[in-house]
Amino acid sequence: MIVRWLLAGLCLLLPATAFAQAERSAPRLGSPSLTALANGVRDESRIRDIALDRLDVAIELRGGIAETTITARFGNRGGEPLEGDFRLVLPADAVVTGYALDLKGRMVDGVLVDRPRAKAVYEANVRGRVDPGLAEVDPAGTFRTRVFPIPARGARTIRLRYVAPLFNSHRGEDVLVLPLDLPAPKDGWSISVRATGVTAAPSLTWPGRGPIAMAREGDGFAAREEGKRALDGLLILGRPALPDAVVSRNSLGERFVQLAGTATAETAAPADRLRIYWDRSRSRLGDHKSEFALLRRTLAALRSRSIEVVTFNSSGAERRTVADADAAIAMLQAARYRGATSFAPLAGDLRTADRCLLFSEGKPAIDRDATVTLPCRVDAVAASKAADLGWLRHFAGAHGGRAHRLGDDLGAVERALVQVAPAVTAVLDDQGRRLPFVPIESGAGQWLVAARAPDRGGVRVVLGGRELRRALPGAAEFAGEGVLLAADALSTLGDADRRPDYVALSRRYGLASPSLSFLVLESPEDYVRFDIAPPENYPADDLGRYRGLRAEADKAKAAERGRRLDTVVRLWNEQVEWWKRKFDPAARPKRKPRRVEGVPAPAAMPAPPPPPVPEAMVEVVEADDTASVVVTGTLSRSAAPQRASAAMVDSVDTVDAARAKIEIDAWQPERPYLKAFDAAPGQFDTLFPEREAQHGTLPAFYLDTAEWLRRHGREAEAAEMLLSTLDLPVANEVTYGLVADRLERYGALDRAVELRERQAALDPERPQPKRLLALALARRAARQPAHARADLERAIALLAEVALTPWNGAWEGIETIALMEANALIPRLRALGGETSLDRRLIALLDTDIRVVAEWNTDATDLDLWVDEPNGERAIYSNPRTAIGGHLSNDMTRGFGPEEYFLRRAPEGTYTVRAHVFAGDRIDPNGPSVVAVHLIRDFGRPNEREESVDIEVLGKDAGEKLVGRLVVGKK
């Protein structure tokens, strides 16, 4: 099977350490660049020569928007299969709209798939060494594709398509810039440029040469060149003067219009009272010299009498009134860039100002549901190429301002901030109805917008309080305007509750994004297996076979859905019957017990590291029970949920005051930066920036450091450090889960639920994110009574969905685990006057003396939960039911789990919990797999207690890992 996918915004899928080392040692490469590894093995000894045999670049310019198609063919001269790594620097604000690969001699388009799903397909094949391929667009604007295999003495071809406006923010010019630097290709190269919807020929500079003239061709202008010489330089296409209106029609039959005009005179905006909003989140870590220079020049020009500086991140906002630009910059130079991007601290700011300048990278990483309305005109400035200018444009526009990307030309942005030019505020049809539009930046004294065209009639442009009417000419085929409008709309649809709209809009216009990837599969069986519809240009014979297979699969799936409730009822009844059985507490195992003594605890390390370390053998006495929880080593404590009284809970055993201990084995991270912090804890603030520069590209660094801070009593800083993880370019749905898990343990349940919501929305094809969201809602219900009923209702509904949905067979067993958890919540819901719609046959509270649950955060980790009972018997996948009543859930050999052990009545003695690792995930960008094991006493009872431990599984790890012990005393 050949798998190809385009992933926008995901870091390289390498082991954490390898990723960091590779990034630090990567040589400077031209654009495009091409490297190769024999058989895809990431080792310096496997680097091989590979050739770019052919490169074709075709640019279609219409008005002020260009669509570029690049086709590249890789040639392998050697005798072994190669993995090719192709990179191309994209223009600023480019939107990738297509990716295709050669299959059976023709180019087949990719289809958009949720990133976790596409990632799982890719990783399954890269681990199996079966024809994997990867392509991506990183936040800095570099397209990268890794193609495997390029067969021995063979070739592979890729095709990339993207749309970009003709404006380069770094130059401050209305140009499209494409760097091209490559040796002479064997079969040559071609470059073609065609321009329509313009009143004169655009300026054009060929790479490695001076300007060339474009010739008149039909209703536009064109230039072409082919050759075999090396290319070294910039292709620069300049925007010429434009007509008042240019109309286009895309392949969906939708009409769009570009509207242009000469900018009117600028006026000075009043700014006696100026406020600077300065984002100090992790996303802004870097050099701010250009921003300081812009700020100094802007403040000098505005001559404001009052200057207030507000710095903010996810931890809050700090404000100070300063005397002048020097004082403002001095304050900002002292800022520490940590925490996540959040505008919530600005909500409720009622202090008026004449002008507000916002310096930020855009879309919040946390607190996305916060409503922020500032009492001033807001002009936003973003310094990074990776900034979400679309989000900033909407935010600034809602406050009467504009968003600017800061490039090399500070003067252009300064003039825009000081001398405010009238902007387009609306585009209307002849009946006065608003039409969607997006402004396109211009540095040539023109204004330009792309808008949806009405079905008939002209349009009116509202500019600086006056209206300009424009008649619309005939339409030509072109997709660019619709793409930019769709990309602009997507910037407002990133929240979890808008996910269906986001996906639908992306698929309608074919837009790749950090959460949607292009996937190409080779055979009809593959498309059916992964439940993905093939592209429109799929070969006709393969499409017919796909439809036949799809019909059979749909019929089988419908039958499975019809049987699902009966299947779950049967499985649940079997579990209830086991729970009801009486077992002899002195029973001996029927088979010879395995020796378990003396198994050393491996030096695993938690990532995310758990919250604060209690002193060894510290006794914690529960207020409502004489049982105690004794902890040895590092653990993560979960708050015990508040439960209904025992009288309200059906089937709950009367619990004697048992003497109980939960002992957690110590897992100490051995990161070099933690060793440095431990060696000089008083110098942390001095050591941290240096270590961050070395290790701060991966989530594990911030997760580890957050835990270190928490252990040293710096809890507020720990929470801020933890949230820094969300601002990393590599942050994805796995990152959200890691941070949410820690937030739950820290007690920040609103933010934990937000991240669990996002994780579930981004990964809808797996049951685990929904289950984890349900458990987060249940924990919040225990802490926040005002919304407890609603949270419990939704939590139970989610767990019911997990139980009753026919999932992939790899997750068989999750249904009964979800029902265990749902039934533990039902008494709490009923105590609040609520009720559940869960089938009556599935309602029974199975309370237990002991319950252990293991879950992990990556797809390819194969882990087994083992529990050694006091009589020497081991509950294991090959022995899931024990003589004293131990019950082990189904063995899950793929990622995420969960696996569960429970024992209704626990005889006295020691229960030793182990995790046995068969395979660790080696290529997740978030670092090694993290296994969370929850040890629970008195599950489903009012005095339930829980302790949790995180175990880090490195790729080389295999074998037993001691998690902890539950010690049950005499009753």
pLDDT tens per residue, range 91-113: 878 899 999 988 888 898 988 88
- What are the phi and psi torsion angles at 689 (to 5°)? -55, -40
Q: What is the pLDDT of residues 163-188, one digit of tens each?
A: 999 988 777 789 999 988 888 899 99
Q: d(Cα 479, Cα 461) in Å, to the nearest integer?
A: 22
Q: Is the pLDDT of residue 604 over 60?
A: no
Q: Where are the alpha helices (DSSP H) in 805-857?
A: 814-831
Q: What is the pLDDT of residues 124-169, one digit of tens each?
A: 555 555 454 555 666 666 777 777 778 899 999 999 999 999 988 7
**Banded pLDDT at 875 (limits 50, 70, 90):** very high
Paired tokens of 715: 């809890």
AA identity, residue 98: G
**Lowest pLDDT segment from 103-107, 217-221, 467-471, 660-664:** 660-664
Q: Is the pLDDT of residue 465 over 90?
A: no
CB 638 within 8 A of CB 948: yes
Find the angle CA(246)-CA(252)-CA(257) to the nearest 5 degrees: 15
Question: Which H helix or E strand runs over 803?
Answer: helix 788-804
State residue 925's pLDDT score. Answer: 55
Q: d(Cα 121, Cα 2) in Å, to the nearest integer?
A: 10
Q: What is the pLDDT of residues 22-54, one digit of tens each?
A: 333 333 345 677 788 787 666 678 888 888 899
CA distances from 833 to 255, 778, 792 (A): 54, 16, 11
In 3D space, the residue among 727, 742, 10 whose CA is nearest the CA of residue 337 turns out to be: 727
Q: Is the pLDDT of residue 267 over 80?
A: no
**Banded pLDDT at 122 (limits 50, 70, 90):** low
Q: What is the pLDDT of residues 416-432, one digit of tens each?
A: 899 887 889 999 999 99
* Chain Cα centroid distance, residue 344: 21
Record the pTM. 0.83
Q: Is the pLDDT of residue 904 over 90?
A: yes
**Lowest pLDDT segment from 270-274, 695-699, 861-865:** 861-865
CB 888 within 8 A of CB 894: no
State residue 84's pLDDT score. Answer: 82
Q: How much of the chain, in percent, has pLDDT values that exceed 90?
A: 57
Q: d(Cα 76, Cα 71) in Å, to the nearest integer?
A: 17
- What are the phi and psi torsion angles at 850 (to 5°)? -130, 135
What is the rounded average pLDDT of the residues 883-910? 91
Find the angle CA(847)-CA(849)-CA(850) to the nearest 5 degrees: 105
State residue 177's pLDDT score. Answer: 92
CB 691 within 8 A of CB 683: no
Q: d(Cα 33, Cα 72) in Å, to the nearest integer?
A: 11
Q: Is the pLDDT of residue 624 over 70?
A: no
What is the rounded average pLDDT of the residues 536-558? 92
Angle between helices 699-711 and 733-746 (to 10 degrees): 10
What's the whole-number average pLDDT of the chain?
Answer: 84
What is the rounded average pLDDT of the residues 546-563? 91
Q: Is the pLDDT of residue 667 over 50?
A: no
Q: What is the pLDDT of residues 269-307, one digit of tens each?
A: 778 999 999 999 999 999 999 999 999 999 999 999 999
Q: Is the pLDDT of residue 1 over 80?
A: no
Q: d(Cα 542, Cα 40) in Å, to the nearest integer?
A: 29
Q: Is the pLDDT of residue 905 over 80?
A: yes
Q: d(Cα 966, Cα 59) in Å, to the nearest integer?
A: 67
Q: What is the pLDDT of residues 253-262, one digit of tens each?
A: 999 999 999 8
Q: What domains sit in the chain, N to C, each tagged with a CATH number?
A: 3-237+515-529 (2.60.40), 262-478 (3.40.50.410), 618-968 (1.25.40.10)
What is the rounded average pLDDT of the residues 376-384? 94
CB 392 within 8 A of CB 403: yes
* Chain Cα centroid distance, residue 57: 31
State residue 636's pLDDT score. Answer: 44
CA distances from 491 to 98, 344, 449, 598, 614 (A): 19, 18, 17, 56, 44
Q: Which residues contact 348 (CB under 8 A, 6 or more apart)?
A: none
What is the rounded average pLDDT of the residues 723-732? 92
**Banded pLDDT at 495 (limits 50, 70, 90):** low
User: Is the peptide bond between 928 and the residue preceding it cis, with omega within 30 degrees of 0?
Assistant: no
State residue 595's pLDDT score. Answer: 43
Q: d(Cα 544, Cα 551) in Å, to the nearest integer?
A: 11
HSE (side-chain half, CA atoms, 13 Å) at 863 = 35
